[in-house]
Amino acid sequence: MADVVMRIWRGDSEGGEFQDFPTQVSEGEVVLDVVHRIQAEDAPDLACRWNCKAGKCGSCSAEINGLPHLMCMTRMDTLPTEEPVVIAPMKTFPIIRDLVTDVSFNYEMARRLPPFAPKDPGPDGTYRMQQIDVERGQEFRKCIECFMCQDICHVIRDHEENKEHYAGPRLFIRYMELESHPLDTNDRRELLREEMGLGYCNITKCCTEVCPEHIKITDNAIIPLKERVVDASYDPVAWLGRKILRRTKKTATEAANHRTDPKPVKASQ
C-alpha cells in the first residue's frame, strides 16, 4: 500500500480546476481502479468513461501526467508517486465534464469517409483473399478508437481551425486500410489531399508514440498514403504513366460519391 495524491480535473465547458484526492494504492492497481474508488467513496459524480477495463474498447482515454493513456492499462506502480498523479481530460476535444470529452469530431470524420466499395464476389458468392493480402489491413483494424492519436496530433491539438479540414491519424489508418484493400474499387487519393488534410501531417509521429495498440500509424499508413498521393498528384512520371496506360484517377468529388452496393449474399441451403 502506497499513499498517493490523485490530482483530477473537475469542470465543464464553463471552466474547472484540479481537485486533489489523497488515496492508497494496493498491489496491481491501475489508474482506473483508483478513479473508481474515488467515485465510489468520495465523488460519485466524478465523470469518466470506461467499459472493458482490459484495453479493448478504447473508452477510458485521459491525459496522465501530460500524455494520453488508457486509464485501465496504466498501472499505478509505473507512475512516480512522490508527486501527485495529474489526470486531465483529452485536450483536443471539447469538454463535457471532468474527464469526459465530446469526441464527435472523430465520428464526423468517419462519416465523411467514402465507405468500402468492394468489387463483385466470385461465382460462389464469396471472396478469396490470401493471408498476405489481409495482413496489412489487419494491423489498422486493431484500432480500438481510443482517439488518443487524434488528441495528441498537434495539427488540431494546437490549431482548432484545422479541425474543419483534417481527418487525423485515426482516419488516415482507415484510409490506408481501404486504399490498400485488395477488393476495394474507390480511389481516395485526391480526396485525401484536397479535403482530408493529409498534407497537414508533418510526420512528427506523436500519434504512433501514444497508440495503445502499437499501430505504426506514421510508417505504415500516413507515409504510404503520402507516397500514394505523390503518385496521384505530384509525380510527373506517374502522370505520364497514367496517360500512356490510359489509367484514370478519381477526383475528390468522384471519390466522395463512389459507392458500390455490396451484393447481398445469396442464401445457402
What is the end-to-end Cα distance of the chain in Å, rounded? 61
Q: Taking CB under 6 A as the rule, does residue 131 contact ligand SF4?
A: no
Mask of contacts with ligand SF4, 154-183, x by CB under 6 A? xx-------------xx--x----------
Pick one of 4, 23, 137, 173: the residue that binds other proteins (CB under 8 A). 137
Stretch 235-254 residues interacting with other proteins (CB under 8 A): 235
Distance CA 127, CA 101 (A): 40
Distance CA 243, CA 130 (A): 31
Query: Strand order in 2-12's β-sheet?
Result: 15-25, 2-12, 85-88, 61-64, 67-70
Identify what 138 binds: ligand SF4, other proteins, ligand FES, none; CB under 5 to 8 Å per kind: other proteins
Question: Closest approach of Cβ 250 to other proteins, in Å?
Answer: 15
Q: Taking CB under 6 A as the rule, does residue 56 contact ligand FES?
A: yes
Indicate the residue type of 177.
E
> Which DSSP symbol is given to 72?
G
Stretch 47-86 residues interacting with ligand SF4 (CB under 6 A): 58
Mask of contacts with ligand SF4, 99-118, x by CB under 6 A? --------------------
37 CB-near residues (< 8 Å, 6+ apart): 23
- Whose Cβ is closer to other proteins: residue 142's or residue 240's? 142
Q: Taking CB under 8 A as the rule, does residue 38 contact other proteins?
A: no
Q: Taking CB under 6 A as the rule, does residue 204 contact ligand SF4?
A: yes
Q: Taking CB under 6 A as the rule, does residue 212 contact ligand SF4?
A: yes
The CA-based diameter of the chain, rounded to the nearest angstrom, is 72
For 120, 155, 200, 236, the CA distances from 159, given in Å and listed in that order, are 42, 6, 11, 33
Distance CA 70, CA 146 (A): 8
- For binding to ligand SF4 (CB under 6 A), which residues are involved? 58, 143-149, 152-155, 169-170, 173, 201-207, 210-213, 215, 217-218, 222
Residues in contact with ligand FES by the rule CB under 6 A: 50-53, 55-60, 70, 72
